[in-house]
């Protein structure tokens, strides 16, 4: 974790609480019928198991069913997914944020967006979004708004296309990205000049974003994945490497139940929390088996713009290792950049 003080003035904390309430009011967890999120061969299967409230189960409540509405006739499979992560220099506020963009279902990387920054806000439990989302949203918007022009690019030794000069953000496009990108836009101006006629090639549209962090599995239902999704208007999923315990949720009891009930990678069971302002039992996320055994599950929660079932389908479909591949690649790439820069400074 960064070296900055964790102190935040009460007035700022109160502002953050108000903003979390506002964002939560704009959050959508409704199923999205416009896209299909399952990936053939990598199955997400819900496993319902009785459990007490201490086990993270529904206790004496009946477990409701959450059927998905039929997809629209125009629904298309998810073709491009992105993962976002931030790695930190040890004992420092210096960090490297990374967004890895992958093709689905092959999970072949087609681009990475990176930004080296000094974190401005301290880490405060329950308020991670205010520390990380301004940086992550900059990566998302850079990808969404960038236009590739030959005059603005350099070529990497691996055949990649590199775009810099984006306010400190660098975009690296790997060979083959063009196949997924929309055609160049043509402007009705001076067609005597090809440069004037070509406004640049847009980058491939990302269908969903997986965020290293939590979504609605949060004491106030406003984790980083929720805030990023609402503020950028994108579909997001929170991927927790460790369980964030709050309310009546017992980490040890939940993991014991997972060990009994989950049998296959991609199998998941809902996590419930019945302590949200007396609103009763509420699903806040899912415990998903991420390997051949349930010993080290991951914790999936809705960020914005899709349902928990769809979020789990997407996470399982992206899972080649313990973490969904977009998040894993973003994590590895950002760590590699941190290591490279640390060695350069020390050398």
- Greater model confidence, 137 or 259: 137
Domain count, the chain: 1
- How confident is residue 39, by pLDDT bands cut at 50, 70 and 90? low
pLDDT of residue 292: 84
CA separation (Å) from 132 to 93, 236, 292?
A: 12, 15, 32
Question: Which whole number is the average pLDDT over 213-217?
Answer: 95
Predicted pLDDT of residue 280? 54
Query: What are the backbone dihedrals phi and psi of residue 258, each rounded to the nearest 5 degrees, phi first?
Result: -60, -40
pLDDT-derived band at 73 (thresholds 50, 70, 90) equals low
- Enclosing domain of residue 141: 34-59+76-178+201-346
The span from the CA of 210 to the CA of 303, in Å, is: 9
Which residue has better confidence, 344 or 146?
A: 146
CATH number at residue 277: 3.30.2170.10
135 within domain boundaries: yes
Residue 310: inside a domain: yes
> Which DSSP symbol is given to 296?
S
Closest of 317, 259, 258 to residue 285, by C-alpha = 258
Which residues make Cβ contacts (< 8 Å) with residue 293, sequence separation at least 6?
none
What is the distance between the alpha carbons of residues 304 and 23, in angstroms, rounded to a whole number?
10
Element (H, E) at 343: helix 325-346
Write down the pLDDT at residue 49.
52
Helix (H) or strand (E) holding 117: strand 108-118
- Predicted local distance difference test score (pLDDT) of residue 185: 59
Q: Cβ–Cβ contacts within 10 Å for residue 64, how many? A: 9
d(CA 168, CA 139): 10
Of 343 and 158, the one with more pLDDT: 158
pLDDT of residue 192: 43
pLDDT at 186: 56
Measure the CA–CA gap between 202 and 149, rounded to whole angstroms. Answer: 9
Beta strands 236-240 and 298-304, pairing class: antiparallel
Asked if residue 251 belongs to a domain, the reply is yes
Separation between Cα atoms, residue 182 and residue 171, nearest integer Å: 17
Average predicted confidence (pLDDT) for the chain = 83
- Examine residue 140 and state whether it is found in any structural domain, yes or no: yes
Whether 120 is in a domain gets the answer yes
User: What mean pLDDT is predicted for residues 126-145?
Assistant: 96
Tell me: pLDDT of 81 over 70: yes
Q: Does residue 59 carry a pLDDT above 70?
A: no
Q: Give the single-character DSSP code of 134.
A: H
- Rounded Cα distance between 294 and 263, Å, is 7
Has residue 184 been placed in a domain?
Answer: no
The pair of three-digit structure tokens given for residue 157, joined into one six-digit string = 């030794």
Judge whether 1 lies within some domain. no
Q: Is the pLDDT of residue 324 over 60?
A: yes
Residue 285 belongs to some domain of the structure: yes
What is the sign of the dihedral through the CA atoms of 107, 266, 322 and 32? positive
- pLDDT per position as a tens digit, 280-311: 568 899 999 998 888 899 999 999 999 999 99
- Counting residues of the chain whose pLDDT is more than 90, the rounded percentage is 52
pLDDT at 202 over 70: yes
pLDDT of residue 92: 83
């Amino acid at each position: 974790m960064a070296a900055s003080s964790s102190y935040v003035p009460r007035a700022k904390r109160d502002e953050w609480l108000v903003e979390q309430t506002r964002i939560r009011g704009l959050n959508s967890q409704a199923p999205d019928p416009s896209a299909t999120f399952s990936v053939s061969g990598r199955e997400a299967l819900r496993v319902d198991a009785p459990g007490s409230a201490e086990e993270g189960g529904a206790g004496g409540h009946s477990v409701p069913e959450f059927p998905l509405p039929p997809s629209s006739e125009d629904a298309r499979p998810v073709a491009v997914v992105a993962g976002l992560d931030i790695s930190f220099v040890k004992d420092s506020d210096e960090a490297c944020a990374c967004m890895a963009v992958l093709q689905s279902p092959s999970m072949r990387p087609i681009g990475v967006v990176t930004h080296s920054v000094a974190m401005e806000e301290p880490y405060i439990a329950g308020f991670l979004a205010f520390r990380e989302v301004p940086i992550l949203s900059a990566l998302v918007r850079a990808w969404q708004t960038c236009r590739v022009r030959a005059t603005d690019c350099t070529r990497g030794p691996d055949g990649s296309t590199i775009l810099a000069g984006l306010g400190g953000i660098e975009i690296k496009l790997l060979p083959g990205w063009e196949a997924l990108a929309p055609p160049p836009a043509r402007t009705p101006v001076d067609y005597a000049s090809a440069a004037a006629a070509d406004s640049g090639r847009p980058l491939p549209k990302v269908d969903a974003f997986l965020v290293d962090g939590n979504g609605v599995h949060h004491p106030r239902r406003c984790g980083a994945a929720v805030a990023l999704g609402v503020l950028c208007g994108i579909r997001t999923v929170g991927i927790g490497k460790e369980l964030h315990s709050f309310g009546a949720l017992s980490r040890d009891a939940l993991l014991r139940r997972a060990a009994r009930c989950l049998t296959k990678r991609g199998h998941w069971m809902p996590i419930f929390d019945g302590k949200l302002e007396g609103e009763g039992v509420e699903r806040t996320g899912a415990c998903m088996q991420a390997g051949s055994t349930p010993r080290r599950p991951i914790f999936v929660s809705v960020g914005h713009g899709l349902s928990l079932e769809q979020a789990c389908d997407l996470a399982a479909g992206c899972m080649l290792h313990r973490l969904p591949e977009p998040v894993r690649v973003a994590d590895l790439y950002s760590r590699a950049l941190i290591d490279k820069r640390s060695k350069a400074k020390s050398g």
